[in-house]
Amino acid sequence: MGPGPTMVEPRVYAAMGQPVVGHLDPYFFQVTEDVRKLLGVVFGAGSHFNMALSGTGSAGMEAAVANFTIPGEKMAVFANGFFCDRISEMGRRYGAEVVRCEKPWGEPFTDQEAAGFIQREKPKVVAFVHAETSTGALQPGKAICDAAHSIGALVIGDCVTSLGSMPVEVDATGIDVAYSCSQKGLSCPPGLAPITVSARALEALRARKKPPSAWYLDLKLLDDYFDGAHRYHHTAPISMFYGLREGLRIIAEEGLEKRWERHRRNHLALVAGLEALGLRMHVAEGKRLWVLNTPRVPEGIDDLKVRRRLIESHGIEILGGFGPLAGKVFRIGLMGASSTRENVLLFLEAFEAALRAEGYSPAASGRAAAERSYDA
Amino acid sequence: MGPGPTMVEPRVYAAMGQPVVGHLDPYFFQVTEDVRKLLGVVFGAGSHFNMALSGTGSAGMEAAVANFTIPGEKMAVFANGFFCDRISEMGRRYGAEVVRCEKPWGEPFTDQEAAGFIQREKPKVVAFVHAETSTGALQPGKAICDAAHSIGALVIGDCVTSLGSMPVEVDATGIDVAYSCSQKGLSCPPGLAPITVSARALEALRARKKPPSAWYLDLKLLDDYFDGAHRYHHTAPISMFYGLREGLRIIAEEGLEKRWERHRRNHLALVAGLEALGLRMHVAEGKRLWVLNTPRVPEGIDDLKVRRRLIESHGIEILGGFGPLAGKVFRIGLMGASSTRENVLLFLEAFEAALRAEGYSPAASGRAAAERSYDA
């Protein structure tokens, strides 16, 4: 129950054990075509070009930065957490002039702040993190995308922690390039990076004069391989694609909106439980992720000791904060296959016991509050 | 029985189905430490720094180029096949001044040619492909490494097709940076790229002033994650690491030298069979790979039709040549778990039938010749 990797659906493991075929086998391209279509649904990307890259979520981030920034051009980053810093670092490595709009970790930007910064800086590319695993905060994308498009800029959205468990809806929001990972909300093992690219971003990519230095993540070459001519590029990790297709099929069977609602309800019940215990959430109500919850560590309590008790006595892994939030928050994941009523109740009982053992006196029963939340 | 991906050992699939743990879990680092040690054995890299990168063999190539070339500095490439061209392309993308020593596809460079070129060009980095999957030719590395070291240059060796099935021996040969893939000779699914780096290459890496643009494949950051401080870099594909460890354990159980000998014997039997059928090998004797065999397509025969018969009537996949060898050679793989006496004999019978059906009259029985080769 940390920020990922998450529990993997047993059907996904079974799919990964199917015999490997060649990377140019018509059967493999049937699998990648299924993945492409199913990704279109979870991304809410009707008209987009979708694929899964042969690397983890961070490879998705690098593909977005490498393919859509041009050396010397301005890239604006909304920075309020760890992964915003990572995008900035990649932007600098690829030669972009990175300008940052900064807020404390866990505080989303308002529509006015977002629009004001973009209009002032007039960047070519704007990057934001939709769901920050380091803080538990959601950054809505609509105002960013509207402002960016009004000056002809492209928008990159990091959806590593939101895809498959919270609404991403790139078409409706206007995100041009969104990437994610195969774990977390999709509940497959880590190893692939879904990515989706809008028609206008694709046009910018095709108009690019010099290819990016990144060859392995060059989207033009990858498009030629996965789609179109099926020209050999690399030997794709076949087993991981089998697994991802199965994971996406499970999402389609559950229904995307039902899945979001499951995540929302379990999040609300967990928060009710945490607040009953007397903990305060780090992120303001309405701005919280449903998949990664960050209650503040109570005064005088050592979060590491609580977490050690949780794993040693109850077999439950959660993580702590890091960077400016080190020692200040717990990070509790409820993602994909792990987001269940059973896990919420089990966790709250174990967490209460671990907190008590460290000398903390809960205000009320967390489990009872969560149960009331489910019944409401 | 193509150039890869190869058949996967059932034990590897079983390992990949084990529950995913966190990417910072002590158990995971136990797995990566096992992988590091076992890779040291197959690479013949006692003193090297070894790891598996979270991408396919081509990501290994890009990691080598990105981390060990400096923009503006000279990189020499020995070019006699497809993957040599790919290294050259990557070198140019990372800003190296690429100089090429060229020969026709499938003709290895002599010691004199290699040394002469290096002494003339005085590059900072030299790249060669140890085993060329596009041609079936082996390029010995000793003369290249000796010449490169005499002028203080580093050597990058592509061992994608040789690792685990033919002697690579980076320490003895002097290869500073060698990379490979998890499929082919290691008989795991594609998805990871083993890499090994010598002490002198590591020193050059540490002395590097500006990091490479490639962040995902930045070896300094990866070293901090997999080894040393275990500082978070990316969420490694846990399941693939389970699989790779199991594949490497299978190699250790068989014994590396016995495994090479198995590949050599099966290769010799296959060649005896192909020559009995009247086909000529594209690569000169003594310069051939044991894992990828390239008989020339007989005059007047359409290789695509033969290959289609093979897969449709016998369920055996082999590939044809491409680039300058398109239509001119067959590419028959005998790698890892696929390199067996049963496969050699089964293939020769099926191949003979497919050739006959296309109007070719074999000189003698391929299967009988292969059996004699085994008995000799």
- The sheet with strand B330-333 has its strands ordered as B292-293, B330-333, B319-320
Count CB-CB contacts under 10 A for residue B10.
12
Q: Which of B17, B25, B90 sits opposite A13 (nearest CB)?
A: B17
Least confident of A24-28, A177-181, A188-192, A261-265: A24-28
Burial (CB count <10 Å: 0-12, 13-18, 19+), residue A120: exposed
Radius of gyration of chain B (CA): 21
Mean pLDDT of A93-106: 98
In angstroms, the separation between the Cα of residue B363 and the nearest Cα of chain A is 32
Q: Which residues in chain A are closer than 8 Å to B317, comparing Cβ atoms?
A: 22, 25
The pLDDT assigned to B227 comes to 86
Chain CA centroid to CA B317, Å = 19
Q: Which residue of B has its CA nearest to A213?
A: B93
In three-state secondary structure terms, B296 is strand
φ, ψ at B213 (rounded to 5°):
-65, -30
Burial (CB count <10 Å: 0-12, 13-18, 19+), residue B31: buried
pLDDT in tens, B135-155: 999 999 999 999 999 999 999
Mean pLDDT of B30-54: 94
Mean pLDDT of B125-130: 98
A23 with B5: Cβ contact below 8 A: yes
Q: Are B198 and B246 in contact (CB under 8 A)?
A: no
Q: Is A119 on the interface with B (CB under 8 A)?
A: no
Q: Is B221 on the interface with A (CB under 8 A)?
A: no
Q: Is B310 on the interface with A (CB under 8 A)?
A: no
Q: Which residues in chain B are closer than 8 Å to A23, comparing Cβ atoms?
A: 5, 190
Mean pLDDT of A85-96: 98
Q: Is B23 on the interface with A (CB under 8 A)?
A: yes
Q: Are A233 and A221 in contact (CB under 8 A)?
A: yes
d(CA A294, CA A282) in angstroms, rounded, equals: 6
In angstroms, the separation between the Cα of residue A116 and the nearest Cα of chain B is 30
Q: Which amino acid is at A369?
A: A
Q: Which residues in chain A are closer than 8 Å to B57, comparing Cβ atoms?
A: 234-235
A59 with B94: Cβ contact below 8 A: no
Mean pLDDT of A24-36: 95
Q: Which of B20, B183, B211 sits opposite A189 (nearest CB)?
A: B20
Provide the token pair at A375: 């019944």
Strand A97-102 to A74-79 pairing: parallel
How far is the CA of A38 from the CAs of A30, A45, A185, in angstroms? Answer: 12, 10, 14
pLDDT band at B76 (very low <50, low <70, confident <90, very high): very high
DSSP state of B298: P
Q: Which residues in chain A are closer than 8 Å to B95, comparing Cβ atoms?
A: 213
On the question of pLDDT at B8 being above 90, the answer is yes
Mean pLDDT of B334-354: 97
As a whole-number percent, the residues of chain A with pLDDT over 90 amount to 97
In angstroms, the separation between the Cα of residue B93 and the nearest Cα of chain A is 5
d(CA B217, CA A208) in angstroms, rounded, equals: 23
Q: Is B237 on the interface with A (CB under 8 A)?
A: yes
The pLDDT assigned to A219 comes to 97
Q: Which residues in chain A are closer than 8 Å to B86, comparing Cβ atoms?
A: 215
Binding-face residues of A in 146-175 toward B, CB within 8 A: none
3-state secondary structure B104-149: CCCCCCCHHHHHHHHHHHCCCEEEEECEECCCCEECCCHHHHHHHH
Residues contacting residue B198 through CB under 8 Å, at least 6 positions apart = B45, B47, B48, B170, B171, B175, B176, B177
B56 with A94: Cβ contact below 8 A: no
Q: Are A41 and A252 in contact (CB under 8 A)?
A: yes
Residues contacting residue B92 through CB under 8 Å, at least 6 positions apart = B98
pLDDT in tens, A5-22: 989 999 999 999 999 999
Q: Which residues pair with B193 in a beta bridge?
A: B53
Q: Which residues in chain A are closer than 8 Å to B243, comparing Cβ atoms?
A: 239
Q: Which amino acid is at A11?
A: R
Q: Are B219 and A173 in contact (CB under 8 A)?
A: no
On the question of pLDDT at B47 being above 80, the answer is no
Mean pLDDT of B358-365: 96
Mean pLDDT of A92-106: 98
pLDDT band at B329 (very low <50, low <70, confident <90, very high): very high
B20 with A57: Cβ contact below 8 A: no
Strand B330-333 to B74-79 pairing: unpaired
On the question of pLDDT at A46 being above 90, the answer is no
A22 with B2: Cβ contact below 8 A: yes
φ, ψ at A7 (rounded to 5°):
-60, 145
On the question of pLDDT at B275 being above 90, the answer is yes
A216 with B5: Cβ contact below 8 A: no
A189 with B2: Cβ contact below 8 A: no
In angstroms, the separation between the Cα of residue B111 and the nearest Cα of chain A is 31
In angstroms, the separation between the Cα of residue B235 and the nearest Cα of chain A is 7
Q: Which residues in chain A are closer than 8 Å to B16, comparing Cβ atoms?
A: 13, 16-17, 239
In angstroms, the separation between the Cα of residue B376 and the nearest Cα of chain A is 34
Q: Which of B58, B214, B237 sits opposite A190 (nearest CB)?
A: B237
Report ipTM (2 d.p.): 0.96
B16 with A13: Cβ contact below 8 A: yes
Binding-face residues of B in 1-20 toward A, CB within 8 A: 2, 4-5, 7-8, 13-14, 16-17, 19-20
Residue A340 CB-half CA count within 13 A: 7
Q: Which residues in chain A are closer than 8 Å to B235, comparing Cβ atoms?
A: 4-5, 56-58, 181, 183, 190
d(CA B165, CA B290) in angstroms, rounded, equals: 8
On the question of pLDDT at A202 being above 90, the answer is yes
Q: Are B127 and B148 in contact (CB under 8 A)?
A: no
B59 with A55: Cβ contact below 8 A: yes
Q: What is the mean pLDDT of chain B?
A: 97
Q: Which residues pair with B179 in a beta bridge?
A: B158, B195
Q: Are B341 and B374 in contact (CB under 8 A)?
A: yes
The pLDDT assigned to A233 comes to 95
The pLDDT assigned to B46 comes to 84
In angstroms, the separation between the Cα of residue B213 and the nearest Cα of chain A is 5
Q: Is A278 on the interface with B (CB under 8 A)?
A: no
On the question of pLDDT at B39 being above 80, the answer is yes
Q: Is A247 on the interface with B (CB under 8 A)?
A: no
Domains of chain B: 10-254 (3.40.640.10), 256-375 (3.90.1150.10)
Q: Is B102 on the interface with A (CB under 8 A)?
A: no
A5 with B235: Cβ contact below 8 A: yes
Note if the bond before A5 is cis, omega within 30 degrees: yes
pLDDT in tens, A134-162: 999 999 999 999 999 999 999 999 999 99
d(CA A81, CA A138) in angstroms, rounded, equals: 11
The answer, as to whether pTM is greater than 0.95, is yes
pLDDT in tens, B212-269: 999 999 999 999 999 888 999 999 999 999 999 999 999 999 999 999 999 999 999 9
Any idea how long chain A is?
376
In angstroms, the separation between the Cα of residue A99 and the nearest Cα of chain B is 18
Burial (CB count <10 Å: 0-12, 13-18, 19+), residue B332: buried
Count CB-CB contacts under 10 A for residue B47.
11
Count CB-CB contacts under 10 A for residue A368.
14
Interface size A-B, in CB pairs within 8 Å, comes to 158
Q: What is the DSSP string of A107-157?
A: -PPPHHHHHHHHHHH--SEEEEESEETTTTEE---HHHHHHHHHTT-EEEE
Q: Is A98 on the interface with B (CB under 8 A)?
A: no
Binding-face residues of B in 317-376 toward A, CB within 8 A: 317
Max Cα distance, chain A (Å)? 64
A94 with B213: Cβ contact below 8 A: yes
Residue of B293, B295, B300, B269 whose CA lies nearest to B280 = B295
Q: Which of B4, B58, B235 sits opposite A216 (nearest CB)?
A: B58
Which secondary structure element, helix H or strand E, spans residue A331, and what is its range?
Answer: strand A330-333
How far is the CA of A70 from the CAs of A76, A303, B135, in angstroms? Answer: 13, 43, 37
pLDDT band at B37 (very low <50, low <70, confident <90, very high): very high
B54 with A57: Cβ contact below 8 A: no
pLDDT in tens, A285-313: 999 999 999 999 999 999 999 999 999 99
